[in-house]
């Protein structure tokens, strides 16, 4: 189907199929103008010419490019440094023609094509003796249609990245096919915008953009520009100041410390169709989920300190994670950020994967390989605040555009960053479209939303007098609540099988309740209370734990108020907190035993699991982004033992539906004995599927012989996991593979068995079927 062709000065028919991908101006030509007189130029005032020449005209296409007038076509081009400009065309009958343009005003050249309709033409520009034949950006219709602009105005364009940013287009043409890039940016308060880029030697005078109606969108299609081109926008703000800005919608960026955006065109061929089809049928809350959280830049490094590339990570990471049995990886933010020490949580380019690792298709490769290895991908996402760098989002068009203009709502004291203006529909659109972008374009399986608590409360990290109440006089950020509900409702509608996870540290009600029932609509919430309580308990010497027994049981009071993830995240092993191993008391053997026992308890506890990288090695040193994990620890059997335990935990977990199928149901859990504080023992049963699983954790430094354990039924119970097994370099105390339960009530259970409970260990028993 041929693209709709209309005069270049018109606007595309909003019903036209090609409204977004308008082809070059018409290549048909009418009869030449009458030879009895010379047609006049399309009239433009000197004031308008001056505005265009100085980059201050809101619609340069109204002056530049082709304009049918007086029986001919006036062509104006902006070439400030040219010594000669010639326009060359091909008529509908194939006959060529050319006309020399005359310098009109401050680098603007003008002349006539003696045809009634606009042909396909090119411009030959001479700079001294050198001639360069180029296409004219100002002969092309807008690449956004009326429906796009309407949806942007309404804040409801769910695929915003397909119309804003830098997008490569390919068109036919009478003088040959045209490849170019459409640049489009939302900057409603800008007086004018120019593109500064590789293709114009970073002199934006030749490429002023046009504003499309009252949408706040500025646009320009530049022919002969393709992938890899670096660019920025020069924006004239209402204060009369020019600011150079990276593109908020850029899909690629320069490697820091360079700050320009880059044009990108993906040609990646995905190979994860089977994964996506299976994912669409999955209910994450009733599926196994054990998450390996990662900072990609410090998982492994080259000997000289360089990051591994996306491609290098794609070779090693999928096999490693799949071998350990994790169902998902969670990647700390992969979005472009200038300062490595922020770990990705101060974003400057929300639509661009981190250029430190390569181009966006390299990241697609990594996700694809993980999926083909059976591993899902969750991305950390930061919609609550953004970096202050002057070349990025801050005061983007010379006004507080993305940030809330009220400093009591727009500035994050704790993190030194700007807070998004959740009350502005276009900003909410930018954010939830960004969520969809990562889920749809990069096949991500979920988003872990950072800092949700800071978004929900107007008084977060603020003293009295430093915050403004909402319209009801409360401290809830109602606009942020609206955004989170919009985001969750939209992503779950469009991408079946994905999940969103809230890092929310307060008791806000209904974080994982459906938006239709006035909840926030998340799939899961981090259980920060469980994390703090359980780590506090484990840090104590065993002799003192009896007095803090409730720290390990309290989480079961509220375990089904939300759908929870149990997080042992990067935040717990940095900034002086020490590694997970170093949190444990005692000598080295006891530290390792405590760690193994804790992991066994964690994997059996209701909720999904998240473990930060390095804990699976028994990492001794606190995590630092500047160096890789201590892989040399695997030369030592006791650290290989921790890794082997994690592998076996994941394998047994995945094979035991009672550990995950009813995570969200109170009936899937029952205490056997929650009150054995004197012996530091906890015992409970998990139900679901064909076979119940019983977990017994002993956090005392001594074994318990002849321990009578209540069980849900008589018969054989296999000891399917023992964190004290010699294969993990434990003491080897155990139950010889199984125990036999006999009828007789004990601890509220209908049967019981006499077992041995190893010291500082967790033992799992599964009913034999």
Q: Structure tokens of 506? A: 């307060």
Active site residue 503: yes
Those residues whose C-beta lies under 8 Å from the C-beta of residue 653, and which sit 6 or more positions away, are 288, 290, 325, 603, 609, 659, 660
State the CB neighbour count (10 A cutoff) for residue 347: 26
State how far the Cα of 623 lies from the Cα of 636, in Å rounded to an integer: 19
Q: Structure tokens of 245? A: 């800005």
Q: Structure tokens of 464? A: 């009295």
What are the Cα distances from residue 634, in Å, to 512, 591, 637, 643?
Answer: 39, 17, 7, 8
DSSP code for 327: S
State how far the Cα of 512 lies from the Cα of 523, in Å rounded to an integer: 5
State how far the Cα of 143 lies from the Cα of 165, in Å rounded to an integer: 11
Map residue 348 onto helix, strand or coil: coil
Q: Structure tokens of 421? A: 């203006």
Choose the catalytic residue: 148, 450, 551, 572. 450
HSE-CB for 682 with a 13 A CA cutoff:
26
State the CB neighbour count (10 A cutoff) for residue 361: 19
What are the Cα distances from residue 137, in Å, to 122, 130, 155, 220?
Answer: 10, 21, 29, 7
Which among 79, 176, 168, 78 is positioned nearest to 120, based on CA atoms?
A: 176
DSSP result, 382-399: --SEE---TTTTTTTTSS
* CA quadruple 618, 622, 628, 630: dihedral, nearest 10: -30
Choose the catalytic residue: 380, 503, 533, 628. 503
Active site residue 13: no
Those residues whose C-beta lies under 8 Å from the C-beta of residue 16, and which sit 6 or more positions away, are 3, 4, 145
- Residue given tokens 């922020």 in the structure block: 342
Those residues whose C-beta lies under 8 Å from the C-beta of residue 337, and which sit 6 or more positions away, are 256, 344, 345, 346, 347, 348, 354, 387
State how far the Cα of 699 lies from the Cα of 303, in Å rounded to an integer: 40
State how far the Cα of 135 lies from the Cα of 372, in Å rounded to an integer: 44
Q: What is the helix (H) or strand (E) element at residue 681, kind and residue range?
A: strand 681-686
State how far the Cα of 357 lies from the Cα of 354, in Å rounded to an integer: 6
Map residue 745 onto helix, strand or coil: strand
- Residue given tokens 């990471």 in the structure block: 317
- Residue given tokens 């049963």 in the structure block: 685
Strand 446-449 relative to strand 376-381, pairing: parallel
E strand residue ranges, 317-375:
328-331, 335-336, 349-353
DSSP code for 115: S
Catalytic residue list: 450, 503
């Amino acid at each position: 189907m041929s693209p709709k062709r209309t005069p270049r000065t018109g606007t595309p028919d909003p019903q036209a199929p090609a409204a977004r991908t308008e082809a070059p101006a018409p290549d048909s030509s009418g009869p030449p103008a009458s030879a009895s007189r010379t047609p006049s130029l399309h009239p433009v005032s000197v004031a308008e010419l001056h505005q265009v020449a100085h980059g201050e005209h809101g619609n340069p296409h109204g002056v530049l490019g082709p304009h049918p007038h007086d029986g001919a076509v006036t062509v104006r081009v902006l070439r400030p440094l040219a010594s000669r400009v010639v326009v060359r065309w091909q008529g509908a009958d194939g006959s060529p023609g050319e006309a020399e343009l005359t310098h009109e005003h401050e680098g603007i050249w003008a002349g006539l094509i003696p045809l009634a309709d606009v042909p396909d033409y090119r411009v030959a520009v001479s700079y001294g003796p050198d001639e360069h034949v180029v296409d004219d950006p100002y002969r092309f219709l807008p690449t956004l249609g009326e429906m796009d602009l309407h949806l942007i105005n309404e804040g409801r364009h769910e695929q915003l990245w397909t119309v804003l940013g830098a997008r490569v287009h390919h068109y036919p043409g009478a003088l040959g096919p045209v490849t170019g890039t459409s640049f489009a940016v939302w900057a409603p308060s800008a007086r004018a915008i120019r593109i500064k880029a590789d293709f114009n030697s970073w002199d934006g005078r030749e490429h002023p953009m046009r504003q499309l109606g009252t949408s706040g969108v500025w646009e320009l299609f530049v022919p002969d520009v393709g992938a890899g081109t670096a660019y920025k926008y020069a924006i004239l703000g209402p204060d009369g100041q020019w600011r150079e800005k990276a593109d908020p919608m850029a899909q690629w960026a320069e490697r820091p410390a360079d700050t320009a955006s880059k044009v990108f065109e993906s040609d990646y061929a995905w190979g994860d169709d089977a994964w996506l089809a299976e994912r669409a049928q999955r209910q994450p809350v009733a599926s196994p989920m054990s998450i390996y959280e990662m900072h990609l830049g410090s998982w492994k490094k080259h000997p000289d300190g360089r990051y591994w590339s996306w491609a290098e990570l794609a070779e090693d990471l999928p096999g490693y994670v799949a071998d350990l049995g994790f169902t998902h990886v969670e990647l700390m933010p992969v979005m472009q950020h200038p300062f490595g020490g922020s770990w990705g949580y101060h974003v400057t380019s929300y639509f661009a994967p981190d250029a430190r690792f390569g181009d966006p298709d390299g990241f697609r490769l990594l996700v694809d390989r993980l999926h083909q290895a059976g591993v899902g991908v969750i991305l950390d996402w930061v919609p609550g605040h953004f970096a202050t760098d002057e070349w990025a989002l801050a005061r983007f068009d010379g006004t507080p555009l993305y940030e809330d203009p009220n400093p009591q709502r727009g500035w994050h004291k704790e993190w030194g960053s700007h807070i998004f203006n959740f009350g502005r529909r276009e900003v909410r659109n930018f954010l939830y479209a960004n969520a969809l972008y990562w889920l749809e374009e990069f096949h991500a399986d979920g988003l872990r939303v950072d800092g949700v608590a800071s978004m929900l409360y107007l008084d977060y990290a603020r003293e009295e007098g430093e915050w403004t109440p909402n319209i009801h006089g409360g401290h809830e950020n109602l606009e942020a609540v609206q955004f989170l509900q919009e985001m969750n409702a939209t992503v779950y509608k469009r991408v079946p099988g994905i999940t969103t996870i809230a890092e929310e540290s307060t008791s806000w009600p209904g974080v994982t309740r459906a938006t239709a029932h006035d909840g926030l609509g998340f799939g899961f919430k981090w259980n920060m209370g469980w994390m703090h309580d359980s780590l506090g308990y484990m840090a104590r010497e065993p002799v003192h734990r009896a007095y803090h027994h409730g720290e390990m049981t309290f989480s079961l009071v509220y375990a089904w108020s939300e759908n929870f993830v149990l997080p042992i995240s990067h935040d717990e092993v940095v900034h002086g907190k020490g590694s997970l191993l170093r949190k444990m008391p005692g000598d080295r053997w006891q530290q390792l035993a405590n760690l193994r026992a804790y992991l066994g308890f964690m994997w059996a506890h209701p909720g999904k699991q998240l473990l930060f990288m390095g804990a699976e090695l028994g990492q001794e040193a606190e995590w630092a982004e500047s160096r890789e994990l201590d892989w040399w620890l695997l030369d030592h059997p006791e650290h290989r033992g921790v890794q082997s335990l994690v592998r076996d935990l994941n394998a047994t977990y995945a094979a035991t539906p009672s550990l995950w199928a009813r995570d969200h149901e109170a009936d899937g859990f029952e205490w056997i004995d929650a009150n054995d504080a004197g012996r530091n023992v906890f015992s409970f049963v998990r139900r679901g599927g064909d076979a119940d699983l019983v977990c017994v954790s002993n956090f005392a430094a001594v074994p318990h012989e002849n321990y009578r354990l209540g069980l849900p039924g008589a018969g054989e119970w296999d000891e399917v996991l023992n964190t004290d097994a010699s294969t993990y370099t434990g003491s080897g105390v155990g139950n010889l593979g199984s125990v036999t339960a006999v009828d007789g009530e004990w601890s509220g259970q209908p049967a019981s068995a006499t077992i041995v409970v190893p010291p500082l260990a967790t033992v799992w028993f599964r009913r034999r079927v």
